[in-house]
Structure 1
Amino acid sequence: MVGWMLHRAGLRSTHLHVLSLGSVVLCLCLWIRAKTVDQSERGNAERRALFTGLWPPTLWAIGDSLREFE
């Protein structure tokens, strides 16, 4: 149902797969940036990077489910 609605809205599996790969790059950038911030802010920056690292599998799975409708 949700996959069908996303497909009707114009999203395609390729869009979500690219977003998934982009979020991997974003996670790596945030992780590298976390190493450059002050020690008092480092924990927060690392948590932000880890949270972003949870997105790729979810976006990839949604992209795979959209492939059924293409």
Structure 2
Amino acid sequence: MIVKKLHDSGVRSEHAYFAAIASIGASFITWAASAKGESAGLDRADRWGIFVGEWAPTFFGLGLALAQYEGHDGTLPR
């Protein structure tokens, strides 16, 4: 199971939640950079922002799965 492998590799739910929040910020940054730095127009900037923004739900889902897995142990290894 991928959640067990991630947990055994040292990835914790907090890491996944942080990645989700960071991807939301990165979505805004990529949108702004594309809007100002490229001559392709606002449509392309919107696509970049949406593309990066779609990572957040995946990371939140991994965070929830890891939190549930950590809860089964009864401890959170550090």
Number of equivalenced pairs: 70
The question of 1:63 aligning with 2:63 is answered yes
Return 5+ residue gaps in structure 2 as ranges: 71-78
**Pairwise CA RMSD:** 1.7
**CA deviation digits over 1:12-52, x for unaligned, max 9?**
00000000000000001111122213433654443222110
The question of 1:21 aligning with 2:21 is answered yes
Q: Percent of pairs identical after alignment?
A: 27
Give the CA deviation at 1:5.
1.1
Q: 1:28 to 1:34 in 2, by over 3 A?
A: same
Return 5+ residue gaps in structure 1 as ranges: none
2:33 and 2:6 mapped to 1: Cα distance? 33
How high is the TM-score relative to the length of structure 2? Answer: 0.77
| 1:14 aligned partner, one-letter code | E
User: Which structure has the larger Rg over C-alpha atoms?
Assistant: 2
